[in-house]
Amino acid sequence: MPFWSPTTARRASPLDVAAIALLALLVLVLFLDRPQALPQGGQVFTLSPALLPWYALRSFLRMLAAYVLSLGFSLVVGYWAATSLQARRFIMPCLDILQSVPILGFFPAAVFLFIRLFNGSVLGVEAAAVFLIFTSQAWNLAFSVYESLTTIPEDLATAVAASGASGMVRWRRLLLPACVPRLTYNSMMSWAAGWYFLIASEVITVGPQSYTLPGLGSYIGTAIEHGDWGLATAGIGTLAALIVLLHIFVWSPLGFWSRRFRYEFSSRTEAVPTPAAITLISRAPLVRRAWHRTANQTARIAGAVAAVFSFVFTLPVTRFVLGALALAAAVGIGYGGVRTAITLIRPLPPAAAGIPLALLYSFLRLVVAYAISLAWTIPLAYWLSRSAQRAARVLPIVQILASMPATAFFPLIVAAIIGLHLSMNVAAVVLILTGMQWYLLLNLVAGAEAMPEDLRELAAASNVGGWMYLRRFFLPVAMPSLITGSITAWGGGWNALIIAEYVTANGRVYSTPGIGSLLDRFTYVDGNLQMIVLSILTMVVVVTALNRLVWRRLYEVAAVRFRLEY
């Protein structure tokens, strides 16, 4: 049946008319005035509120491009690490390091690889911004794929192997379905991380050189820098509206759809309310038809891409190519190591002696923030896990709050804490919390969602609740997700240090001793590449030791001891 006909026109509802009118209005607002895709370094950034829809579109497209790259990266790297012991020994330490390197640490790479490659053109700056957003999204998704593939029930994997499924069939029937639940929740978290660092990604500053791209992040950052809180509020409001719309029309339906991929050994499941977007679409025939056609076409294209990917990935030549890429990466790392050594060979300034103590201060703040995060995320995730109806009501609020970029509110938070005559240490811990807590909560919720219905029935039949349910049912099921969430939360915490220990508010700079404030000063004030490299290298050593001695061992135990087996 054609999409448009007199019959379908007669069936149109007021919602169809509203949707068409909204789409037309959006097109007019975005493209009627054809706003310029300005700024490079040195140009004036326009703070006109009329350009906010255009800036929102630009930021969304950068986020989408970075997410697509992150998703492809995570599927390849997560699968490779989960299925090859040799690759795992190389990949997991690299992911541990990369997800903990602050986004400022990637600025030199972004400038060198993209901006210099394109001679500072708009295309090069756009590529650099997408790359920086990618660095805030990819590692979390890769860890979720690895966790999903390493915790597939053994009997299910054996049954698929015994059926002779391989290549595309194995990906479609076993691997991709196993990844969907955690990928959905971690995709929300990766988008939240992208929003969190949006300002830093759209305003790239290294020493005296600065590049600004049109977007909500640069708009909010420039408005705050100029002290214009009215325009900053307008930018934050636009970003909040975009986040809410994405939740209603993307993440909520995806979360509802992902429930069908949970491991279930019982025919009874608790009913979950249908998302508002699905209900609205069902009441608008024209929109529903357009939605179904678009979804089917997208699924067809995605299936074709997945089939090609699966087939290519099973070819023997693929391992050779991956090995060659790993060798090239090793050569690049070696070259970077030589350049780093050359940079560090020069006599160090007196400020270098303060790095170990600054790192200790930052580490203690991370421990405090992590303890506070655990203290409220575990009880909340446990409470949500006891009722699907309750989770359906509360999770949307949690997901929207997690997606709001707390960096935009940092000056207000610091001003409020200083106004209460509390120390900057308190402010730093509060700001670090914003970079840690959501990773833990959403990973715990994803782990709780994976609990099979028969376990819930067993707990209900045994009248188990309270502490016993938490210890015997919730924590064993959620433990792999808790470890994954802890790894990514600490990575987010290390990143948050950079903007938590050095904040500008009301025209003043508030800082507290720590590796974040040192790195901020070396990057934005001094432009001292030697001290930037030394600070990041020190962080990498500490992060690697922590992940090797604590998190990786805990995860290996959790993946074996708490695997779902029947």
Q: One digit per residue, pLDDT tens: the chain, 566 residues?
A: 454 454 554 455 666 666 667 666 666 655 554 444 444 444 456 778 888 888 888 899 999 999 988 988 888 888 888 888 777 887 887 887 777 676 666 766 676 677 777 776 778 888 888 888 898 888 888 888 888 888 777 777 777 777 776 666 677 777 778 888 888 878 887 888 888 777 778 877 655 667 788 888 888 878 877 777 788 888 888 888 888 888 888 888 887 777 777 665 544 455 566 776 667 666 667 766 776 677 667 656 665 665 566 566 656 676 677 677 767 767 776 776 676 676 667 777 777 788 889 889 999 999 999 999 999 999 988 888 777 778 777 877 877 777 777 777 777 777 778 778 888 888 888 888 888 888 888 788 877 776 766 777 777 777 777 778 777 778 887 888 888 788 878 878 887 887 788 776 666 777 888 888 888 777 767 767 778 778 888 888 888 788 778 877 887 777 666 665 54
pLDDT of residue 371: 94
CATH number belonging to domain 48-263+272-283+347-561: 1.10.3720.10
pLDDT of residue 364: 93
pLDDT of residue 23: 64
pLDDT of residue 14: 66
pLDDT of residue 45: 63
Residues 6+ apart with CB under 8 A from 498: 102, 103, 104, 516, 519, 520
pLDDT of residue 4: 47
Q: Answer yes or no: are the C-beta atoms of 47 and 222 closer than 8 Å.
A: yes
Nearest to 355 by CA among 154, 134, 514, 159: 514
Amino acid at 110: A
pLDDT of residue 208: 60
Pairwise CA distance, residues 302 & 176, whole Å = 12
pLDDT of residue 82: 84
- Give the pairing type, strands 502-505 and 508-511: antiparallel
Length of the chain: 566
pLDDT of residue 30: 53
pLDDT of residue 366: 93
Q: Answer yes or no: are the C-beta atoms of 55 and 216 closer than 8 Å.
A: yes
Q: Answer yes or no: are the C-beta atoms of 52 and 234 closer than 8 Å.
A: yes
